[in-house]
């Protein structure tokens, strides 16, 4: 399996755990979605920085 595919699988798994954690604290679905989008955006931004640096 390519490292890029593994990273995406890990990201999705982590987001599922985060959503479950927020839901257990009775956080609204809209806020959970917002936090997930923010977290995924940060992940993508960092990945793009490393990609452009050639790492």
Regarding pTM above 0.75, the answer is: no
Q: End-to-end CA distance of the chain: give it in Å, rounded.
A: 19
Along the 55 residues of the chain, how does pLDDT read in single tens digits? 566 777 777 878 887 887 787 777 877 778 878 887 888 888 888 888 888 887 5
Give the whole-angstrom CA distance, residue 55 versus residue 39: 21
Domain count, the chain: 1
Which domain, by its residues, includes 17? 3-53
């Amino acid at each position: 399996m390519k490292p890029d595919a593994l990273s995406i699988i890990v990201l999705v798994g982590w987001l599922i755990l985060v959503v479950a954690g927020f839901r257990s604290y009775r956080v609204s679905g809209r806020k959970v979605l917002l936090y997930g989008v923010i977290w995924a955006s940060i992940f993508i931004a960092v990945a793009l920085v490393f990609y452009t640096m050639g790492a």
